[in-house]
Structure 1
Amino acid sequence: MNSAIEYVRGDATRPQGDGPKVICHVVNDAGGWGRGFVVALSRRWPQPEAAYRRWYKERGSGSGFALGQMQLVPAEPGVWVANMVGQHGIRTRGSDHVPVRYEAIDQALNHLGDAALRLGASVHMPRIGTGLAGGRWERIEPLIQDRLVSRGLTVTVYEL
């Protein structure tokens, strides 16, 4: 059983290792997709963005779109992308608003853990929640440890 997060230099859209893989990242609850890690995801696969936009459009109609929820999207055989709703709104230029919601990321990571265990998949990610969401890694890393690593999942964090 892996007991630590593995940190590597590389691109999270090109996950390393064998077997099924889930790439996770944090999305907002405002329907915005177009800055940050999502740009790299969209360059590689159109499905995660299309699924997120549909999910957002259907919000309020029983789609489950809400803070703390996770959407698992097949990207290619053996690779899924987890769109995790962990930020409330978006940060605008000159604003003090920090959109990260740690409780929502924690809840979404729990859903991700269930899905990754069901798939027998390893989990891959950039430093989620720390870019445009404005979160602090020292608050997010323990959530990953508790919700994923402690359950026996292999987790790799990619740093460009």
Structure 2
Amino acid sequence: MKTIIYLKGDATNPQVNGNKIITHICNDIGGWGKGFVMAISKKWKKPENEYREWFKSKENFHLGEIQIIKVEENIWICNMIGQHKTITNSKGMAPIRYEAVEKCLEKLSNEAVKLNASVHMPRIGCGLAGGKWEEIEPIIEKTLLENNVEVYVYDFE
């Protein structure tokens, strides 16, 4: 089985050849404006615009769904709805929803196989969503890596 390849650098600038999908976690309330999405929006306008349209349309816009947007000849962005709202609730539950992240990554792995693409990401779900990498990593292993998809995780310096 493949293993996650950890790199220092910017996940919006993948350093490998071939088709690439850059993935990240979005919330289920249509909010876009903090964290990694800012780096995406600085580089490409389409992912944010498509996400906002998707939210407005309400079509399949819920936890566990993904949206894939082609931004360059061999680069796609995957918006994954894996976060409920944007703040930790009164019971101390962070916005991250691991079961939704797993559904998203299962769908993403099918797309990556179809496109023969590697997948690139920051440590998804571990910033504003409040998740823990030790919970996310095994989900990546049982979805993307099980399907033989190459995964690169970037730690921004």
TM-score under structure 2 normalisation?
A: 0.95
Structure 1 residues 24, 95: CA separation in 2 closer, same or farther (over 3 Å shift)?
A: same
Written as runs of structure 1 = structure 2, the 5 A alignment for 1:10-21 is 10-21=9-20
Hey, what does 1:90 align to over in structure 2?
Answer: 86
Q: Distance in 2 between matches of 1:56 and 1:135?
A: 23
Supply the AA of the counterpart residue of 1:155. V
Which of 59, 76, 83 is the matching residue for 1:80? 76
Which of 136, 141, 144 is the matching residue for 1:140? 136
Hey, what does 2:112 align to over in structure 1?
Answer: 116
Q: Which runs of 4+ in 1 moved over 6 A?
A: none
Unmatched 5+ stretches in structure 2: none
Written as runs of structure 1 = structure 2, the 5 A alignment for 1:1-80 is 3-59=2-58, 63-80=59-76
- Percentage identity across paired residues of the two chains: 48
- State the shift of 1:65 in Å: 1.0
TM-score under structure 1 normalisation?
A: 0.93
SS at the partner of 1:142? helix
Q: Distance in 2 between matches of 1:29 and 1:58?
A: 13
Supply the AA of the counterpart residue of 1:147. T
Supply the AA of the counterpart residue of 1:39. M
| 1:104 corresponds to 2:100 | yes
- State the shift of 1:95 in Å: 9.2
Q: Distance in 2 between matches of 1:5 and 1:23?
A: 14
Output the aligned Cα RMSD.
1.4
SS at the partner of 1:153? coil
Count, aligned residues: 155
- State the shift of 1:96 in Å: 3.9
